[in-house]
Amino acid sequence: MFGSDKTVIIDFNDSFTYNIYELLRRTGCRNFSVQPVDELDAAGFEIPGRIILSPGPGLPEDYPEVFRLLEKLPEYLPVLGICLGHQVIWRFFGGRLYNLKEVMHGSSSLIKLNAYAERQTAHSLYARCPETFTVGLYHSWAASKPVPEELLVTAESDRGVIMSASHKTRPVHGIQFHPESFISEYGEQILTNFLDL
């Protein structure tokens, strides 16, 4: 059983967090709060119903308290990482990052779901989304292959950059793109799907 049905956004001091907040409101979610990462105490953190790791500046290693939090979370807890949050999940499970040759800031890209993501219906982050759609990108680092043993890549960009990954057995998902961006299609649907996990 979840400790509550509350959704907690871990805010990596990023202006996009407000947009995620507003997108959550549009989905009909009312029970959520924002936890500034600078005030995060993993040891005393009360486990909510689900967690969203927001976009933000820097690299995952700049936020050791978030790694400590991930270590204590129960395996049944849904977690969604967005941009930096996705990279945190990738690094937590042993993956590496690489620096893109071209910084993406407000860029649009087509992403393509892989066969695994397409097969998932009832418990998929991409339920009711097409095989390809446009997303907004704001990042200079990306997940690098090889893929961590516990994760599966679920989408890639038209340039072959990993755009999302899911844990093989846990409801843990990371997306490199910004569902809250006006550029992104199906952002509200993706957040709705996450809330249904």
Catalytic residues: 83, 178, 180
The side-by-side arrangement of strands in the sheet containing 50-53 is 32-36, 7-11, 50-53, 79-82, 172-175, 162-167, 151-157, 96-113, 132-144
Q: How far apart are CA 152 and CA 19, in angstroms?
A: 27
DSSP string, 104-165: EEEEEEEEEE-HHHHH--TT-TTTT--SEEEEEEEEEEEEESSPPTTEEEEEEETTS-EEEE
Q: How far apart are CA 53 and CA 110, in angstroms?
A: 23
**Token output for 131:** 């095989």
Strand, helix or coil for residue 170: coil
**Token output for 105:** 């800031």
173 with 194: CB under 8 angstroms?
yes
* Largest Cα span, the chain: 45
